[in-house]
Amino acid sequence: MTSFKRLAVYCGSATPADPAYMQLARHVGRTLAERGIGVVYGGGKAGLMGAIASSALEAGGEVIGVIPQALVDMEVANKDCTELHVVDTMHQRKQAFTDLSDGFVTLPGGVGTMDELWEAISWAQLGYHQKPVGLLNALGYFDGLVAFNRHMADIGFVREAHRNIMIIDRTIDGLLGKMAEHRPAKTIVQMRVDDL
């Protein structure tokens, strides 16, 4: 069973009208802190991102923000973080998420959140990391995405060995339990050409 020092948390910087999403983010931040798991996140103070960070900090947890300079210039950086890493590009930001964490947890969010999730999955397929990639499908937010991921595998665009890279649960406790049992998949670079 894997234990986590830090997890990268991907989520939206927006605040949806439904308060359940902000409550979810606060619950996740608190839960990670109470379990002694540090949060690595996008370094912002707005929306779900801000709720994750503030709740983890309030519970005594470690919070490491990674934010591009352009967003710092817009004054959206959360300067209350335990550490705030300022980078030049989004590519550097995502690399830092991977370097600083032992795995990834995705909460509801928009296009940027999806970009981060799919890159973590793609990099796992290629063997650029062997860390668990979790999807917290709370409130049914990701039902369509889960179905689409299954559809890609059923059609054959996701290899059978990679069908379960995306670890899914509806609760943070359940998700962390599944992620702790993670076993890396056979990567594309380990496969023969005939397997591809």
Closest CA to 97 of 148, 43, 135: 43
Whole domain around residue 51: which residue ranges? 6-195
pLDDT at 3: 87
Contacts of 108 (CB under 8 A, 6+ apart): 11, 12, 16, 21, 24, 48, 138, 139, 141, 142
Residue 74 inside a domain? The answer is: yes
Residue 1 inside a domain? The answer is: no
Question: Domain holding 121: CATH number?
Answer: 3.40.50.450
Contacts of 65 (CB under 8 A, 6+ apart): 41, 42, 43, 44, 53, 77, 78, 81, 83, 84, 85
Residue 99 inside a domain? The answer is: yes
- 181 alpha-carbon distance from chain centroid: 17
- How many domains is the chain built from? 1
Residue 170 inside a domain? The answer is: yes
Tokens of 55: 């709740």
Closest CA to 136 of 31, 18, 16: 31
Residue 165 inside a domain? The answer is: yes
Could you list the pLDDT tens digit for every one of the 196 residues in the chain? Answer: 678 999 999 999 999 999 999 999 999 999 999 999 999 999 999 999 999 999 999 999 999 999 999 999 998 999 999 999 999 999 999 999 999 999 999 999 999 999 999 999 999 999 999 999 999 999 999 999 999 999 999 999 999 989 999 999 999 999 999 999 999 888 876 765 556 5
Residue 158 inside a domain? The answer is: yes
Q: Tell me the whole-structure pTM to 2 decimals.
A: 0.94
